[in-house]
Homo-oligomer: A and B are copies of this chain.
Amino acid sequence: MTSDVDDTAELSRPARRQAEIAAYVVKNGSVSANDLVEAFGVSVMTVHRDLDELERQGVVRKYRGGVSAQPTSVFESNVAYRLNTAHAEKAAIARHARAMIEPGMSVMLDDSTSALSLVDLFEDITPLTVATNFLPAITRLAQLRDITLLALGGIYSATHDSFGGMPCAEAVEALHTDLLFCSVSAVSPTHAFHQEEEIVLVKRAMLRSAKTKVLLVDHAKLQRTALHRLAPLTDFDVVIVDEKTPDDLIRPLREHGATVEVAKL
């Protein structure tokens, strides 16, 4: 919960404040708008706007007189995604993953920031076919030349900024790519986990639809679990972790049969 690597940087001011407000709300269960005005030193208007945005993302519930927190799962998969970061590590993992891609290949990406870092490296590996359900990735890839972009449609989720549900799973199943890069919210020595059933559905479909599967894991994901067991780590051909991962945490994965590679900064 308490992030060791506290990087409130790398985020626009309102986005950062919103993340902090979200954390504040989750911590206190339910608070009033005025509390937040004092706590963050902004006008009541701004607080309301922030809360509206957080509600749109499904992080909080507004009612007259204040807001309350949503179930942890939602908070985890959204704000975690924002505060989290560990930007440098993600970039290192992406560079490492990049080495596995050859021009001409087909690549699938899930809706994770790790995958997004990877997108920025694609420009130099053309031609390339990329399939993803992650809206930020889609908009970026649409700008690039010599990349065949295959959007995986579905029901939009504001929390993840991606498409999911049955339509998405079906779209995935119609494909078969050379590579899959994906991430999860938690990794035990034996399994990968995720909180949300809908997401699990899509990720499982992706696992079935790729030849080589790669799991991208920054060290914050280890030592944790989440509600749904997504798949055993041995289902992945490679698990890439960042350099900051303690050896103590890597060893158990290897002992259980996973192929772990460490991405150097």
Contacts and interface: CB of A to CB of B under 8 A. Distances in A.
A55 B144 CA distance: 11
A20 to B, nearest CB: 22
A141 B156 contact: yes
Contacts of A52: 145
B174 A167 contact: yes
A163 interface: yes
B149 A150 contact: no
Interface of A, secondary structure class, is: mixed
A170 interface: yes
Given A153-B152, A154-B150, A170 B163 contact: no
Contacts of A148: 155-156
Interface in A28-59: 52, 55-56
Nearest to A161: B142
Nearest to A172: B153
A139 to B, nearest CB: 7
Interface of A: 52, 55-56, 133, 135, 138-139, 141-142, 145, 148-156, 158, 161, 163, 167-168, 170-171, 174-175
